[in-house]
Amino acid sequence: MPAALVVWLSTLTGLSFGWWWSAVGGLVGAVLGLVVLARSRGRPAVVRWWRLGIAWSVLLCGMSVGVVGTMRLRAASDDPLRTLAGADVTGMFRVEITERAKPVVSTGFGGQQSGVRAVVLPARVVWAVVAGRRVSSTGAVILVAPVDRWRTLLPGQQVTATAAVAPADPGQLTVAVLRVRGPPDALSEAAEWQRVAQRLRSGLRDASGVLGPEPRGLVPALVVGDTDDLSQRVTDEFRAAGLAHLLAVSGANLAVVGVAVLLLLRVLRCGPRTAAAGAMVALVGFVVLAGPEPSVLRAGVMGAVGLLALAIGRQRAALPALSVAVIVLVLWDPAMAVSIGFALSVLATGALVLIAPRWAERLADRGVPRGLAEALAVPAAAHLVTAPVVAGFAGQVSVVAIGANLLAAPVVAPATVLGVLAAVVAPVAPWLAELLVRLAGPEANWLVFVARHGAGLPGAVIGWPTGWLGGLLLAGCMALLVVALRRRQLRVLIGIVLIGLLIVVIPVRVIAPVWPPDGWAMVACDVGQGDAIVLATGEAGRAVVVDTGPEVAPLAACLDRLDVSRVPLVVLTHLHADHIGGLDAVLADHAVGAVGVSRARVPRWAWEEVRDEAWDAGVPVVQLTAGQRLAWPGLVVEVLAPDDEEVMPAVQSDGTEINNASLVLRAVTPAGRVLLSGDVELAAQAHLLDERVDLSADVIKVPHHGSRYTSPELFAAVRPRIAVVSVGAMNRYGHPSPFTLRVLAHLGVLVLRTDTAGDTAIVATAAGPRAVTRGPSRSPP
């Protein structure tokens, strides 16, 4: 272990603060090894051999990282591409792909559909010509390229492309980011085993199509870490529930496969050596299936350590094996020293083979059944040691992680094994692969259920300081808790404190929650760069939704917080991506009466998406026109625009005319009148004013996220007391416009922005409407 710490910390400091720190760390390790060697003389034989083992390992590893590791860090630091990256240059590059493409999901806005429009591919430079001269570089680079033809590239393939050179993040071995616009040229062939593995992964993805939308994307993620078809909502819920590790290939995946093969061979009466060899072959095969990328190889090594500890039944042998794995992996790929995934893998593996068995023994000694004791000890130990790292980089702590992992654990192994079998048989027997995937479907549905309900519990996630300070703070708290639990008096005291907190927190957060405020009439949901408005009716749990934002997850979370279960009408003011992207959040989990749209059915892709989603949910689509009046107990919605004159230009255009064809609504609520203006711009605003439409309202949802194209005359006609701007933080469109904000300020209007205030509610008071904000999404209310 000391040798592993020398290698890891030396490389970590070298990448973080400069390559020379790696040399310093290696030198310090070598000196410490020499000191221990010198002081081993004259000791008893057992002690001397033990100290000699430590000394030689530290000495050799210190020299290795001080020489070999430092040379690699210096080569990356002095790479000429790193210097050129800040010069805004373009060149031609021949690169070798080192990992499979990772999709970059872009949120839709306006007429641009959400989805994957770019991929990220780690690669290694073979040769480069920049600004007309050849550059001597063989460094690691990141390619950001279009989806077409780049997404299917496999590790080992060499391609040529023209790219702009951009700086890479500091503290990494990556020397530059190459931004590619065109297709790859001069492709080389991938290795046959890579193509076979790709066919197996594709077969699993195709076979998973027989499941519902969410389990369809989850099964490939569980088995081989393929998250291409996984919805952002499920990803967010798994993260909040502490189950995100299930969505990536980890040592647990490989251990499950290895143990399954080991047990099968033992049932077939194979000897211990044959069974162990078969399990190792299965591990190698799984690595090939998932792709021999750094993260998968790391998981393979950690899985082998776990199997070793299981096979020999000696905890003392697990720590040296884990230490050797750390030494080999960091010397082979120094970038792992600063990898969050690597740290989590090492810590989790150490907890599973060192801490969990001891905790399980202690629980069993106190009368807890053996199976339950192990089921409790494993997630508790893993969460204890990884929580500080997660808190440091994610800024949150999952309170429900241990319970969620305990509930998820029984189905992870069956789902993984069934998924692997489905991938293996898919090329030759697709029907059998579909059958195996169907058998894995209930397990996937259970995991989604656990993650969704775990993430939805009040206080499931606690905000925490980020960075080293936040991680060290939580580690200190965890250490104090473990020490305190060792003493009976302190255990009783901690139990009393926890019971007291539950007595206080449960009534406050569940029975009388902070959010939503009593008597809310309207809530502008914080959905990022888009619109989503919820209008309360006089019936509990029943609300009208106007627009659904750009994504499913934010709106689903907002509706859950409002405890909305029935939606008599979903109004889509117009069919731009930032207003329809979250429609499935309403249709999937709520009783919906109808979806209301205007006559403008463009862009075509958006209309087809809305129509298909509504059809799949069995919800009718109805047309709304100016002059209609819709009423529910406690709520009246008037359709003010558009008329046929405004709709016709939009029918023939995919441009900004669609904004001007937005449905403009006025809601009459107990808190006053609310004008919902969609994305209408100057032409549509002028038409409303020319037609002398009564626009007066107490609250206005500012058009088009507060864009510059809003006339002061509109605000003067509305005469609002409160203006709500639904806008995304740090968006690239400059919303809201300073000009629009100045106009509202001049009129004395209270302006609230969802990017800074979060969910914004309008409540009724004796003095008129009052605004209550929840705070940005990451912060508790």
pLDDT band of 371, cuts 50, 70, 90: confident
**What is the number of helices (H) and of strands (E) in the chain?**
29, 26
pTM (2 d.p.)? 0.80
Model confidence over 587-634: pLDDT tens digits?
988 999 999 999 888 899 999 999 999 999 999 999 999 999 999 999
Cα separation, 159 vs 319, whole angstroms: 42
**Residues whose CB is less than 8 angstroms from the CB of residue 489 and which lie 6 or more positions away in sequence, other chains included:** none
Confidence of residue 781 (pLDDT cuts 50, 70, 90): very low
Mean pLDDT of 562-574: 96
Supply the pLDDT for residue 542: 97
pLDDT band at 114 (very low <50, low <70, confident <90, very high): confident
> Is pLDDT of 507 > 50?
yes
Q: Say how far apart CA 44 and CA 662 lie, in whole Å.
A: 87
Query: Widest CA span of the chain, in angstroms?
Result: 102
CA pair distance 80, 482, nearest whole angstrom = 50
Label residue 308 by pLDDT band (50, 70, 90): low
Going by pLDDT thresholds of 50, 70 and 90, the confidence category of residue 757 is very high
In the prediction, which pLDDT does 780 show? 36
For the chain, give the mean pLDDT.
Answer: 87
Give pLDDT, residue 774: 93
Average pLDDT of the segment spanning 728-754 = 95
- On the question of pLDDT at 772 being above 90, the answer is yes
Higher pLDDT, 169 or 769: 769
With cut-offs at 50, 70 and 90, classify the pLDDT of residue 42: low
pLDDT of residue 610: 96
| Lowest-pLDDT choice from 201-215, 445-459, 589-603, 683-697 | 445-459
- What pLDDT band is residue 311 in, cutting at 50, 70 and 90? low
SS3 at position 174: strand
Confidence of residue 310 (pLDDT cuts 50, 70, 90): low
Categorize the per-residue pLDDT at 294 as very low, low, confident or very high, splitting at 50, 70 and 90.
confident
443: DSSP letter: H
d(CA 31, CA 279): 41
pLDDT tens digits for 646-657?
Answer: 555 555 555 678
| Per-residue model confidence (pLDDT) at position 444 | 95
Compute φ and ψ for 564, nearest 5 degrees: -85, 125
Residue 440 has pLDDT above 90, yes or no: yes
Does the pLDDT at position 314 exceed 90? no
Interval 73-82 mean pLDDT: 90
pLDDT, mean of residues 689-703? 95
Range in 351-360, 454-463, 486-495, 583-592 the model is least confident about:
486-495
Asked whether 517 and 526 are in contact (CB, 8 A), the reply is no
Dist CA 554 CA 234 (whole Å): 11
Mean per-residue pLDDT, 485-504: 65
| Contact (Cβ atoms closer than 8 angstroms) between residue 129 and residue 135 | yes
**Distant-in-sequence, close-in-space partners of 595: CB < 8 Å, separation ≥ 6:** 569, 570, 571, 572, 583, 587, 610, 614, 619, 620, 621, 622
β-pairing, 591-592 with 621-623? unpaired
Specify which of 356-360, 631-635, 658-662 reaches the highest per-range mean pLDDT.
631-635
Give pLDDT tens digits for 263-292: 888 788 887 778 777 888 888 888 888 877
172-229 pLDDT tens trace: 889 999 999 899 998 899 999 999 999 999 999 999 999 988 899 999 999 988 888 8
For residue 657 the two structure tokens come to 């005319």
Percent of the residues in the chain that have a pLDDT greater than 90, as a whole number: 48
pLDDT category, 121, cuts 50, 70, 90? very high
Rounded (to 5) percent helix, strand, coil in the chain: 55, 20, 30
